[in-house]
Amino acid sequence: MPTKLIPKELAKRPERLAPGHRLCAGCGASIIVRQILAAIDEPVVMSCATGCLEVATTIYPYTAWRMPWIHNAFENSASTMAGIEAAYRSMVRQGKIPEQNVKFLAFGGDGGTYDIGIQALSGAVERGHQFLYVCYDNGAYMNTGIQRSSATPFGAHTTTSPAGKVIPGKQQFRKDLTAIMAAHGIPYVAQAAPSQWRDLMQKTRKAVNCGGPAFMNVLSSCNRGWRHGTDETIEITQLAVDTCYWPLYEVENGEWRLTYKPKEKRPVEEWLKRQGRFRHLFRPENRHLIDELQAEVDRRWERLLRLCGEA
Amino acid sequence: MSKFEALTGNAAVATAMRQINPDVVAAYPITPQTSTVQTFADFVADGLVDTEFVCVESEHSAMSACVGASAAGARVMTATAANGLALMWEILYIAASNRCPIVMSLVNRALSAPINIHCDHSDVMGIRDSGWLILFSENGQEAYDNLIQAVRIAEHPDVLLPVAICQDGFITSHALERVEIYDDADVRAFVGEYKPQWPLLDLEHPKTYGPLDFYDYYYEHKRQQVEAMEHAQRVILEVAEEFNRKFNRNYGLFEPYRLEDAEVAVIVANSTAGTARVVVDRLRDEGLKVGLLKPRVFRPFPAEELADALSHLKAVAVMDRSISFGAMDNAGPLFLELAAALALHGVQVPMADYVYGLGGRDILPHEIERVYRDALKVAETGRVERRVTYLSVRE
């Protein structure tokens, strides 16, 4: 029987990410990693792209990982895991190692996934490797000091899309990576957020048991880049969900399904105003940018509702 | 029992891969390597190997998957050429630094631009500082033999470094030659079973691969790579000795030809050494004291042994199939390294460099003969008129 997804039971499970790592207080990544690992009862082998999660958990000669873990480079978490999974299948088939129902988990941030790693990810899922790729999407290159990525929200200030006198922050809408991954036709794709931990954990279980490649895009607050208090992570993450900037859904064997529908869809402004990276949008002359972002959020939400048969 | 077959260099390499039966092969097609992975794909499709063949979407992912599979504890091989090797470049260093004993068949081809699919050595020279062991092969037989030995060298506990086995694109990769193929069982016995020391898939003993490593330890890890390189030369010779005994060959760090009593010698790697050997015989018939040295092991560079082998000469001509742009006199890398080796080991011999065959430009016996005749003149006068010559180029 799998461990019940209730805090009392989950708390009994040994933590595979040890305390003492050096991620910031309030970082979304470690919360997501712990929720995902807690959802998996089986042994896990994990690869990790270069980024905060990697540098903050493995400063030689220390490691926070009580499980097999590898970092190769920035853009190749997926292809590294493809090699590991292929090695496992080969050696199990030859009787060189025992079959142990290992779950293969690849992690990358949005830079390592939406941008520099998208080719390796696309290739690995197309080939059908049995692994779950998790993108912890904090919407910028946070590890190198908050540079824009293709996941950065429209209008956000980053150090390479600064809110200047002429250009008011990032000029493009976020790439819809979850939809791109769904278009690969793999068995399981989901979008999740750590503010809805049970939803995230249920999705994790489906993903690692789907019998093929799976992808999860998980919203991960970075209070350094988003500019909010370290104690506001979960609250602000949930606002992204309730404003439908970050809807929670899954695509299981091609079937789109909303896993959470806010009772009342809140204006995106409510999410924006809690974060310093959007502060400039609230100047009167930039009001239209909030309207533009709202229109895009609405457009994507309507599309998602149609895909999920809810429209 | 071994048997003789008519095989291209690539088919010989693929045959070695079949016999080695690696756990994982991750590769991407690129001319002139493609027929290796094609032939190997046939072996996979026909169930002749146990290999998991990962047909990746790029060479970058090929090397990334190789690193993952090797860290996992698998015996891993790949093949590439030119731009494919260049795309791997970032991960080549990681493979060596993570001490992954990956074996690669590298079919030497000119790097772009301009794009060109034919042979030169600009690709391999770009990875000479990457921490890979690099061995040259004159023909299909040597590519086959070297690949088999490479597995043992790479996986030796004192080495644990990746190995690239080079042969010349098209010239030997696509030329049918007589190749002695050893008995499958003999090859399998020779390479033995790979026993990884720190496999990631040993779940009871979790390991962290690839941690962040700052100023307090990075340097020590680099120093350990140096140590492995130092061990590699001994291991290469040990493996060669066993191989020679078992399969009746004669591999060493390099191959001298009529060098012992020679007064001048040409140093040239891969297929051109075969052409040069013919020229040596021709000139010897004229009574000229000429010889040849064909490098086999380029990394680690056997400086002292090379200096010893060349110390009696009156002139040395190095033939380079690539240019080290902006280096001293815009010479080739082989010349530069050999010049340093000889100088530092106290061998005072006039040297000249001949860049040749870039982008697959033919190198003909009469051109090599000219190199010898130049060298004979240098031996006579003791003076090098021209340090670097670009052979057969329209100036």
| Per-residue model confidence as pLDDT tens digits over B191-210 | 999 999 999 999 999 999 99
- At A136 the pLDDT is 98
Question: C-alpha angle B368/B373/B374, rounded to 5°?
Answer: 95
- At A60 the pLDDT is 96
Residue pair B254/B318 in contact (Cβ under 8 Å)? The answer is no
DSSP character for A104?
A: E
- At B183 the pLDDT is 98
- Which of B44, B50, B54, B59 is the best mutation test for A, with the most CBs of A within 10 A? B54
B149, B233, B263, B264 from B303: Cα distances, Å: 22, 11, 20, 19
Looking at the predicted structure, is the pLDDT value of residue B1 above 90? Answer: no
- At B114 the pLDDT is 98
Q: Report how far residue A224's alpha carbon sits from residue A29's, in angstroms, rounded to the nearest whole number.
A: 13
For chain B, domains (ranges, CATH) are: 3-247 (3.40.50.970), 254-390 (3.40.50.920)
Q: What is the pTM of this model?
A: 0.98
Q: Which of B52, B65, B73 sits opposite A79 (nearest CB)?
A: B65
- Quick check: A119 and B90 CB within 8 A? no
Q: What is the pLDDT along chain A (311 residues), one digit of tens a residue?
A: 899 999 999 999 999 999 999 999 999 999 999 999 999 999 999 999 999 999 999 999 999 999 999 999 999 999 999 999 999 999 999 999 999 999 999 999 999 999 999 999 999 999 999 999 999 999 999 999 999 999 999 999 999 999 999 999 999 999 999 999 999 999 999 999 999 999 999 999 999 999 999 999 999 999 999 999 999 999 999 999 999 999 999 999 999 999 999 999 999 999 999 999 999 999 999 999 999 999 999 999 999 999 999 98
How deeply is A295 buried, as exposed, middle or buried, from its count of CB atoms within 10 A (0-12, 13-18, 19+)? exposed
- Quick check: A83 and B67 CB within 8 A? yes
- At B97 the pLDDT is 98
Taking CA atoms, what residue in A is nearest to B209? A70
- Closest by CA to B102, choosing from B43, B159, B45, is B159
| Per-residue model confidence as pLDDT tens digits over B95-118 | 999 999 999 999 999 999 999 999
| Per-residue model confidence as pLDDT tens digits over B253-284 | 999 999 999 999 999 999 999 999 999 999 99
Q: Report how far residue B261's alpha carbon sits from residue B331's, in angstroms, rounded to the nearest whole number.
A: 28
Q: Which of A68, A80, A87 sits opposite B64 (nearest CB)?
A: A80
Q: Give me the mean pLDDT over the B132-160 stretch.
A: 98
Summary mean pLDDT of chain B: 98
Given strand B52-55, what is the order of strands in its sheet? B52-55, B24-27, B76-80, B103-108, B163-168, B133-136, B297-299
- Quick check: B209 and A70 CB within 8 A? yes
- At B244 the pLDDT is 98
DSSP character for A282?
A: G
Q: Report how far residue B59's alpha carbon sits from residue B94's, in angstroms, rounded to the nearest whole number.
A: 14
| ipTM score above 0.85 | yes
Three-class DSSP category at A47:
strand
Query: What residues contact A108, with CB distance under 8 A and at least 6 apart?
Result: A48, A49, A51, A77, A78, A117, A121, A133, A134, A135, A136
How far does the CA of residue B393 sit from the closest CA of chain A (Å)? 40
Looking at the predicted structure, is the pLDDT value of residue B49 above 90? Answer: yes
A22 near B CB under 8 A: no
Q: Report how far residue A159's alpha carbon sits from residue A145's, in angstroms, rounded to the nearest whole number.
A: 7
Three-class DSSP category at B295:
strand
Residue pair B50/B21 in contact (Cβ under 8 Å)? The answer is yes
- At B24 the pLDDT is 98
